[in-house]
């Protein structure tokens, strides 16, 4: 099973997750380079060691740091690739928070449901955005802004869809999740399935 290192989001940054010392899931808003790099180095990883960046969705606080990893390939679901490539500050939610610049509009890999990343399978979990994804390895769920620790779901008023979100959380409820690694806030170390059920109860 892949090794997952949790990097807590700082300020506007999303949480980031280092997988097997060479894959980074989400990169934050891109304004706290020293913080992110220091966390990687604490784990013996240089920024240039990152071979693949996986974005759970296209919002600025998850993709803004992509430019910090020029040697890495950038992967995102095909439905969220367009706002990134078009530097669409509405689609990436930057406009809503005063972030009008996207430093990197590169997408190298368009992901789809069922694709494999290390030991993880890509699950399409729209709702927060149309191309939101979660990563699942049979025990651990890296879920972006779909669900959060303690229940709750990502907001749906900036390019989201309520019906999609409900369907996505219902899909995740079918998994025997132990640990949850969300896009913001604390991680869930045990009984992840109960947190997913709680999130569903709020919909």
Bridge partners, residue 75, by sequence: 54, 109
User: What residue ranges do the domains of the chain occupy?
Assistant: 4-201
Please give the pLDDT value at position 158. 87
CB atoms within 10 A of CB 34: 7
- What does pTM read for this prediction? 0.96
Please give the pLDDT value at position 95. 78
- 4-201: which CATH number, 1.25.40.340, 3.60.15.10, 3.30.70.1520, 3.30.420.40? 3.60.15.10
CB atoms within 10 A of CB 156: 17
What 3-state DSSP class applies to 109? strand
CA distances from 46 to 25, 106, 157 (A): 15, 21, 37
Q: What is the pLDDT along the chain (203 residues), one digit of tens a residue?
A: 899 999 999 999 999 999 999 999 999 999 999 999 999 999 999 999 999 999 999 999 999 999 999 999 999 999 999 999 988 877 888 777 777 766 667 999 999 999 999 999 999 999 999 999 999 999 999 999 999 999 999 999 988 999 999 999 999 999 999 999 999 999 999 999 999 999 999 99
Token match 């996207």: residue?
A: 102
- Residues 41 and 73: beta-carbon distance below 8 Å: no
Q: Measured at the alpha carbon of residue 33, what is the angle toward residues 67 and 36, in degrees to the nearest 5? A: 105
What dihedral do alpha carbons 198, 4, 94, 68 form, nearest 10°? Answer: 180
Helix axes 162-173, 192-201, angle to 10 degrees: 150
What dihedral do alpha carbons 96, 132, 149, 36 form, nearest 10°? Answer: -70
């Amino acid at each position: 099973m892949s090794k997952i290192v949790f990097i807590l989001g700082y300020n506007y940054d999303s949480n980031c997750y280092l997988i097997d010392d060479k894959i980074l899931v989400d990169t934050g808003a891109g304004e706290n380079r020293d913080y992110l790099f220091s966390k990687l180095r604490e784990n013996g990883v240089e920024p240039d060691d990152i071979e693949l960046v996986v974005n759970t969705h296209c919002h600025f606080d998850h993709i803004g740091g992509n430019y910090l990893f020029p040697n890495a390939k950038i992967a995102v679901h095909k439905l969220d690739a367009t706002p990134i490539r078009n530097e669409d500050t509405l689609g990436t939610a930057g406009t809503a928070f005063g972030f009008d610049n996207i430093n990197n509009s590169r997408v190298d890999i368009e992901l789809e449901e069922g694709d494999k990343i290390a030991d993880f399978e890509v699950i399409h979990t729209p709702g927060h955005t149309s191309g939101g994804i979660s990563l699942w390895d049979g025990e651990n769920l890296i879920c972006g802004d779909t669900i959060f620790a303690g229940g709750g779901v990502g907001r749906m008023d900036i390019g989201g869809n309520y019906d999609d979100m409900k369907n996505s959380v219902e899909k995740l409820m079918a998994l025997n999740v132990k640990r949850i690694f969300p896009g913001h806030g604390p991680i869930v170390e045990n009984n992840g399935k109960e947190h997913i059920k709680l999130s569903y109860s709020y919909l």
